Amino acid sequence: MSKRYLILADGSIFEGEGFGSRATTFGHIVFNTAMTGYQEIITNQIYHNQIIVFGAPTIGAGGINHDAYESIMPTAKGVIVRDVAEVSTNRQKRMNLNEYLDYHNIPGIAGLDTRALIRHLRKTGPQKASIVDFPDEHAFDQLNATVLTNQQVAAVATPRAYPNPGTGSTVVVIDFGLKHGILRQLSQRDADVTVLPYKTDAEAVLSLDPDGVIFSTGPGDPRDLPASVIELMRELQTRVPLLGIGLGHEIFALANNAQLIQLPFEHHGTNHPVKEVITNAVLYVPQGAGYAIDPASINHDQLIVTHLDLIDDSIQGLRHRDYPAFSVAFFPDSAPGPLEGTTVIDEFFDMMETKDRF
Amino acid sequence: MAKKALKKVLLIGGGANDFGRESELDVATHQVMHTFADLGIATILIDDNPYSLSLEDSHATTYIQPITVENVRNIIEFEQPDAVYPAVGGTTAFQVLGDLFAQFDYPNLEILGMSLDTVNMVNNPALLAKRLRQIGEPVISSQVVNSVEAAFDIAREIGFPVNIKPMAPKFEASRHTAEDSETLDLVLKIALKQSRIKQVVISQGINGLREVGVQVMRDHHDVNMLIGAVEDMDPVGIHAADSILVTPVQTLSDREFQRLRMAAFRIMRGLDIVGTAHIQFALDPRTDRYYIIKVSPYFDSTSTLVSRSTGYPLAIVAAHVCVNINLTRIVLPNNFAKKMAIIEPVMDRIVVKFPVFAFGEIENAGIKVNRRLNTMQKSAGSTIGIGRSIEEALEKAIRAAHFSNRVFSPDLMSALPENDLIQQLIHPRDNRILLLIEALRRGYTIDELAELTKIDEYYFYKLQNIMELERAVKRNPGDLALLQDAKYYGLSDGLIAKLWNQDFDDVRQLAKNNDLQPTFKAIEPSAGEFPEDVTVYYSTFEQENESERLGDKSVLVVGTGAFRLGDGASGSYVTSTILDEIRANGFQSIIINNNPNDLTLMIQFADKQYIEPLEISDIMNVVELEQPAFVLVPGNRIKLIAALRERNVHVCVIPKDKYTAPGPQHDEREFAINYYFDGTDVHPITITEHVTGKLMFDKNVYTQIYQQKIPKLQLRDTSPGLYQLITNQLPLSTDLGEYQLRPVPFGQIAFLNKVTGINWIRLMIRNILGCQTDADKVLLARLPDVNFKHQVAEMVSNNTDFFQHLQPAGELDSTQFEMGVAMHLIK
């Protein structure tokens, strides 16, 4: 362990002890306040090119478990935390967090005043950051010169189709860098799943005769995706029951002529109450979005707002007035986080079962 | 909006303090009462605990009466309340309420927060188990029996170990565990005796599983929230109050954790509880199964721990939801972020709760006790340590528990024979942290120790860090990098000085010269996500300090820390009254304390709270930041007072003896002539009489007969406050040379406050701050010839079952080792 530094585009420097990989990396900095599920968070592809700051004081106590991956290959650019636990490895825990990050070339910094950092980020907003050995002028020059790709989905989504067979409903998942949690939820309901690359056309999807289609989670700004994605959504929503999750929710909004706004504070965590508008029920759900839908841009003849974040009033769910299509900004598959959001998946299955009525 | 019809609510208090009953119920009562007042709801409170602060609150109509069915019934008849809220009275309130409704019908009296069925389930574990099974939640298989023979039949069937729990216990009673037939015979006799209906529940033993408690909140629209979760470092088999508790949960995966969360919500729904509840689970990591151990839909020490640790105003929110105000509509006091009531708290700190045992004090009095920890609570109090790592939080909690660093001294256990070490690893005692460190030092591997003790290996790595750090610090006196590490992981200046064989001030100076200064962090429920106007802080050694000096007119009060035998809730009562009076006189009050159940840590009582150990270095850290005008310290902290004065701190002493004196023997009586000392003159107040287990006051008898004979005494060089002269005969002999005044014990001050109707603590504080009023002067001049609120009263030691908890080899003095008291107003 040796001194390493987190530097921010605004010129701030935070010092800590390096762990994981020794690489120098660049990324957007984002903080997550969830207290459990570090492995699921680190392996979530929405964190492609992101340096993740954990609000929880200690992570790593459970090691790395075979059943807690949200992707095969994590693409985060760094992990910042107050303290990393050491643990012995055994059959359940094949690796500890330190070894895992090293193996995947992700650097970490521990022993850093993460509370001060989070309070700082809350004031200064989203920005670029870098993990370096020396916080000198050269490091800042490099940080400022770094252009992070906006083609994040291309970097993490599957390039080719693959099946996840089951004996129940036939579901096609359009992959933008999906969380494994989505597939896990589908498996639990015995769905017969085919995952398709996001550049697929509507005909290829419909040729599989799906009972329903899911537009998955993924990283980045959906406006940087090829226009074909919007077209795909527009076509499919008229034809099959459809669920958009995370990035898929944003695509659903764009396809129905709503506009996106960048959130002044990204909320990444599992503790915000989200209201289901129609029932007034309150759910706690995992969230991790940098964008929200501009409420003023919604055409209410087309879309219904189904879920609202009670803290920042952001739109968390939409439903189409004419088609069996809906979307949620949060992650209804949990992993990590509360399980009450999984009712969204149940609703999707209900919709598929009753689709003939539409 | 609150229910329209609700105008008046009866709160049933918790009664005398006891094992497992510190001031947490008073804390909750106070907040509930004030919340109801804000909502326009009148409250009535019945309690007989002289240390209750709520009983003196002007927001309620109070009845100082024993909490019995008859008294509660009379109050209901007279006051005609619309509802009764049992959650602030713990098991006492549930028992009384259950009995009351079993005998009488109250169609117009609503039970807030739950149905009568649920009240009965809380009182009867078999009913609860049945309901839990109905809703599909796993409970340990158990049966109700009413004889020793029947219990043995079942034990043979399900095999040892078995747990025994009394049905409808006379007071809060724990599980007993029996590993063989001999113990079973013993515990059955105890449990049958504890049961009011002579029945016990026998169930399969679950020792060695992991124990996790979750605190949940639910409103009448079925919005469920997880407020916090606490994990026991120790496995099931050691009473939760004697366990080392850690929050947030460290060793559960997200999946395990979310499963418990959903189970807790199902239980809230299944029992239709509105408000807060603490649900305890036992987890079997090998089979991935869980069992429900206990459901407590009332305030307890875990609810206060969670509330202190998260900064979430649990009692205030519970008071709102139980009168049907939605969680989404609660308007919290200004200190909180606007929508905080409905955000699930997250933490960026670690809180460790450490039990405080009284074995040492009892053994010093020559009485042997059983130090082995089991399912029966043995600790008398607890402290919390808050830090940014387990190491730091643990070091601080232990330091807070002992006022000193002695405990972590590396050589303390090196003489323990190997066999004893192994025995104690398997059958833990109060000193187990030291023992675990000693085992690591002797080269036991972490995997071995985890297997032997059923403690998660994670904690052994942390203990190993502490051990290695101390070893390194000891070997390298003056090493700056190690000093920084030591600070970072919570080692105190005192301990470092000891390890380096240096003077405490030299260590402090070295740290200061190298910019190793404490940074104070706010305790708030959003982990930095929202800006909040927070007043509660803890220290660590990091980059950013969030606490700013209050101002020139601040007073720092050093709290009394953990409850101990003979010195429990009264300290909490006295100190909170002090804080309140400081503010009433235009000063800003600051408290430093570490008992999670203490009244002083309610944010309502002080302008600022520091949850810190109470060693000199911790207090100096706060003094240097706040530069208070005065520091008030209880008089029993002699060394601390001297050390603060040496450093030119303006200390005012709250009169208090170093040790609680024993009470009179069985055939003896003792009289106390109580005086108020205003700094110049000594004014007699009244006489009290003390026999074993009972303190009596009768204004007419004593004052009028002996008034003429009460000697005028002199005091010099001591603080204003209450003092007493103890004698075993009255009238006094004329030669006063042999008499000495001692400070009136805090418990007796609480009693005198309630009996006389004059708050002597407030008088003392005005005196100390130089804010005496004309009325004060008139009162003092007229003493003892003033009217008291009550004329005859007594304070009686609680009937604490010491045998059950501690198995002492002799009788414990009920004054010196007081666990709790009740008061009776006679006239």
Q: Is the domain of B679 the same as that of B750?
A: yes
Range with lowest mean pLDDT among B297-301, B714-718, B776-780: B714-718
- CA pair distance A208, A338, nearest whole angstrom: 33
The answer to whether the annotation marks A218 as part of a ligand binding site is yes
Measured between CB atoms, does B294 come within 8 Å of chain A?
A: no
- Cβ-based neighbours of B267, under 8 Å, separated by 6 or more: B132, B135, B137, B273, B277, B279, B292, B295
The tokens of A49 are what?
A: 């090119």
Give residue A40's Cα distance to chain centre: 10
pLDDT at position B172: 64
In one-letter notation, the amino acid at residue B601 is L
Res. A33: pLDDT tops 70? yes
**Encoding tokens for residue A161?**
């189709």
Predicted pLDDT at B186: 87
Is pLDDT larger for residue B49 or for residue B148?
Answer: B49
Average per-residue pLDDT in chain B? 91
Mean pLDDT on B290-303: 95
Based on the fold, state whether residues B698 and B745 are members of the same structural domain: yes
pLDDT single digits (tens) B493-511 = 988 999 999 998 999 999 9
What secondary structure, in 3-state letters, does B439-500 show?
HHHCCCCHHHHHHHHCCCHHHHHHHHHHHHHHHHHHHCCCCHHHHHHHHHCCCCHHHHHHHH
Residue of B nearest to A271 (CA): B344
With CA atoms as reference, report the closest residue to B226 among B87, B327, B370.
B327
- Please name the residues in contact with B506: beta carbons below 8 A apart, sequence gap of 6 or more: B497
B531 has pLDDT over 90: no
Residue A92 pLDDT grade (very low, low, confident, very high; cuts 50, 70, 90):
low
Smallest CA-to-CA distance from B143 within B131, B129, B133, B156 is with: B129
Question: Which chain A residue has its CA at the smallest distance from B221's CA?
Answer: A281
Q: If we measure between CA atoms, which residue out of B392, B431, B406, B616 comes closest to residue B499?
A: B406
* CB spacing of A68 vs B343 below 8 angstroms: no
Instruction: Give the distance from residue A265's alpha carbon to the nearest chain B alpha carbon, in angstroms.
Output: 9
Q: For chains A and B, count residue pairs whose Cβ atoms are closer than 8 Å.
A: 149
Assess whether pLDDT exceeds 80 at residue B704: no
Q: Answer whether B188's CB lies under 8 Å from B144's CB.
A: no
Report CA dihedral (B237, B243, B248, B250) to the nearest 10 degrees.
-60
Tell me the chain B residues in contact with residue A276 when contact means C-beta distances shorter than 8 Å: none
Q: State the residue for tokens 């601040």.
A: B554
Report whether pLDDT(B615) > 70: yes
Residues of A in contact with B265 (CB under 8 A): 340
- Whether B167 and B311 map to the same domain: the answer is no
Parse chain A into domains and list their residue ranges.
3-147, 153-357
Q: Which of A136-140, B490-494, B611-615 has the lowest mean pLDDT?
A: B490-494
DSSP 8-class letter at B675 = E
Residue A357 pLDDT exceeds 60 = no
Sort out which chain B residues have CB atoms less than 8 A from A282's CB and list them. 223, 327-328, 342
Q: At residue A334, what is the residue type?
A: S
Per-residue pLDDT of B67-103, as tens digits, reads 999 999 999 999 999 999 999 999 999 999 999 999 9
Q: Which residue of A has its CA nearest to B541?
A: A113
> Using the beta-carbon criterion (under 8 Å), do A335 and B253 form an inter-chain contact?
no
Q: Are residues B415 and B340 in the same domain?
A: no
Query: Is B362 contained in some domain?
Result: no
- Per-residue pLDDT band for A1 (boundaries 50, 70, 90) equals low
Interface of B with A in 389-408 (CB under 8 A): 389-390
Ranges assigned E (strand) in B233-274: 245-247
Substitution target from A275, A311, A314 for chain B, most B beta carbons within 10 A? A311
Cβ atoms B343, A338 nearer than 8 A: no
pLDDT of residue B166: 86
Range of the domain at B391: 375-519
Residue B767 lies in a domain: yes
pLDDT for residue B810: 87
Question: Average pLDDT for residues B802-825, to the nearest whole number?
Answer: 88
Do B513 and B589 fall within a single domain? no
Q: CA nearest A23: which of A58, A51, A65, A62?
A: A51
Q: To the nearest 10°, the Cα dihedral for A8, A10, A13, A18?
A: 0
Task: Indicate whether B164 and B81 sit together in one domain.
Answer: no
What are the tens digits of pLDDT across the range B138-174? Answer: 998 778 888 888 888 888 887 788 888 888 777 666 7
Q: Give me the residue from B344, B389, B531 closest to A83, CB to CB.
A: B389
Across the interface, do A33 and B250 touch by the CB < 8 Å criterion? no
User: Are B590 and B642 in the same domain?
Assistant: yes
Question: For domain A153-357, which architecture applies?
Answer: 3-Layer(aba) Sandwich (3.40)
Helices B457-475, B446-453: axis angle to 10 degrees equals 130
- Tens digits of per-residue pLDDT, A323-350? 999 999 999 999 999 999 999 999 999 9
- Supply the Cα-derived Rg of chain B in whole angstroms: 26
Interface residue of A35, A54, A92, A309 to substitute, partner B, most B CBs within 10 Å: A35
**Which of A55, A68, A85 is the closest to B527 by Cβ?**
A55
Domain shared by B192 and B228, yes or no: no
**Is B348–A61 a contact, with Cβ atoms under 8 angstroms apart?**
no
Among candidate residues B609, B649, B615, B611, the one with its CA nearest the CA of residue B632: B649
Per the structure block, which two tokens stand in for B399? Answer: 């330091």
Looking at the structure, tell me whether residues B593 and B718 fall in a common domain: no
Distance, in angstroms, between A3 CA and closest chain B CA? 13
Interface of A with B in 57-76 (CB under 8 A): 57-58, 61-62, 65, 67-68
Does any domain span residue B128? Answer: no
Alpha-carbon distance of A308 to A288, in angstroms, equals: 15
Q: B80, B8 in Cβ contact below 8 A?
A: yes
- Greater confidence (A112 vs B147) lies with A112
Contact indicator for B262, B238 with CB cutoff of 8 Å: no
Query: Which residues of chain B make contact with A119, given a CB cutoff of 8 A?
Result: 528, 544
Q: How far apart are CA B160 and CA B183, in angstroms?
A: 11
DSSP codes, B683-736: EEEEEEEEETTEEEEEIIIIIIHHGGGPPP----SS-SEEEEEEESSSSPPS--
Q: What is the CATH number of the domain that holds B161?
A: 3.30.1490.20
pLDDT at B528: 92
The answer on B175 and B216 residing in a single domain is no
Query: Residue A334: left if φ>0, alpha if ψ -120 to 50, beta else—which one?
Result: left
Q: Please indicate if any CB of chain B lies within 8 Å of the CB of A343.
A: no
**E strand or H helix that includes residue B755:** helix B746-756
Helix (H) / strand (E) containing B181: helix B181-194
| CATH code for position B457 | 1.10.1030.10
Q: Do A310 and B344 touch (CB under 8 A)?
A: no
How many CB atoms neighbour CB B808 within 10 A?
18
Name every chain B residue with its beta carbon within 8 A of the beta carbon of A82.
348, 388-389
Distance from CA of A13 to the nearest CA of B (A): 11
Would you call B249 an interface residue with chain A, using a CB distance cutoff of 8 Å? yes
**Candidate from A58, A272, A284 with C-beta closest to B390:** A58
Query: What pLDDT is stored for residue A202 in this prediction?
Result: 97
Supply B347's token pair. 């933490």
pLDDT at residue B477 above 90?
A: yes
Name the token pair of B209: 């599983």
**Separation of CA B279 from chain center:** 19
CA-CA-CA-CA torsion sign (B729, B731, B735, B740): positive
Flag if B488 and A111 touch (Cβ within 8 Å).
yes
Considering CB atoms only, which of A37, A55, A122 is closest to B348? A55
Answer yes or no: is B260 within a domain.
Answer: yes
Tell if the CB–CB gap between B528 and A122 is shorter than 8 Å: yes
B-chain residues near A288 (CB < 8 A)? none
Q: Give the Cα separation of B240 and B211 in Å (integer).
A: 8
Residues from chain B that touch A122, judged by Cβ atoms under 8 A, are: 528-529, 531
* pLDDT at position B233: 95
Examine the fold and report which residue of B329, B345, B361 is the final residue of a domain before the chain moves on. Answer: B345
CB B198 within 8 A of CB B166: no
One-letter amino acid at A268 equals H
Q: Rounded to an integer, what distance in angstroms lies between the CA atom of residue B184 and that of residue A56?
A: 44
The arithmetic mean of pLDDT across residues B545-556, rounded, is: 96
Task: Could you list the beta-strand ranges (E) of A85-132.
Answer: 93-95, 107-110, 128-132
What three-state secondary structure class fits B797?
Answer: strand
CATH architecture of A3-147: 3-Layer(bba) Sandwich (3.50)
pLDDT at A208 over 60: yes
Q: Give pLDDT, residue B815.
A: 86
What is the structure's pLDDT at B148?
Answer: 87
Q: Which residues contact A92 (CB under 8 A, 6 or more apart)?
A: A63, A65, A66
Q: Which residues of A touch B251 (CB under 8 A)?
A: 61-62
pLDDT for residue B165: 84
Does B785 touch chain A if contact means CB atoms closer than 8 Å? no
Please write the tens of the pLDDT for every residue from B753-769: 999 999 999 999 999 99
Is A315 in CB contact (< 8 Å) with chain B?
A: no
Cis peptide before A222 (omega within 30 of 0): no
Backbone CA torsion sign across B687, B825, B567, B28: negative
Q: Which residues are A128's β-sheet partners?
A: A28
**pLDDT tens per residue across span B399-442:** 898 755 554 555 667 788 899 899 999 889 888 888 999 999 99
The CA-to-CA distance between both ends of chain B, in Å, stands at 42
Give the chain B residue whose CA is nearest to the CA of A336: B254
For residue B448, pLDDT beyond 60? yes
Taking the C-alpha atoms of residue A197 and residue A156, their distance in angstroms, rounded to an integer, is 11
Question: Has residue A246 got a pLDDT over 70?
Answer: yes
- Is residue B729's pLDDT more than 90? no
Q: What is the ipTM of this complex?
A: 0.96
Look at chain B and count its residues: 827
Q: What is the pLDDT of residue B674?
A: 93
User: pLDDT by residue (tens digit) across B567-586?
Assistant: 789 999 999 999 999 999 99
Higher-confidence residue of B275 and A356: namely B275
Place of tokens 């085992």: B439
A333 is catalytic: yes
- A220 annotated binding-site participant: yes
Number of structural domains in chain B: 6
Contacts of B390 in chain A (CB under 8 A): 58, 83
Question: CB distance from A12 to chain B under 8 Å?
Answer: no
Q: Where are the beta strands (DSSP E) in B493-649?
A: 519-522, 536-540, 554-558, 588-593, 608-611, 630-634
Please check whether residue B764 lies inside any domain of the structure.
Answer: yes
Residue B237 has φ and ψ, to the nearest 5°, of 125, -20
**Mean pLDDT over residues B326-349, rounded?**
90
User: DSSP assignment, residue B567?
Assistant: B
Q: How far is B347 from chain A (nearest CA, A)?
A: 6
Q: Where are the beta strands (DSSP E) in B7-160?
A: 8-12, 42-47, 60-64, 83-85, 110-111, 142-145
**Do B450 and B514 sit in the same domain of this protein?**
yes
For residue B182, pLDDT beyond 90 = no
Residue B623 in tokens: 């003094």
Chain B's closest residue to A66, CA to CA, is B253
One domain, residues B733 and B784 = yes
Catalytic residue, chosen from A67, A133, A333, A346, is: A333
Question: A288 a known binding residue?
Answer: no
For A177-218, what is the HEC assignment?
Answer: CCCHHHHHHHHHCCCEEEEEECCCCHHHHHCCCCCEEEECCC
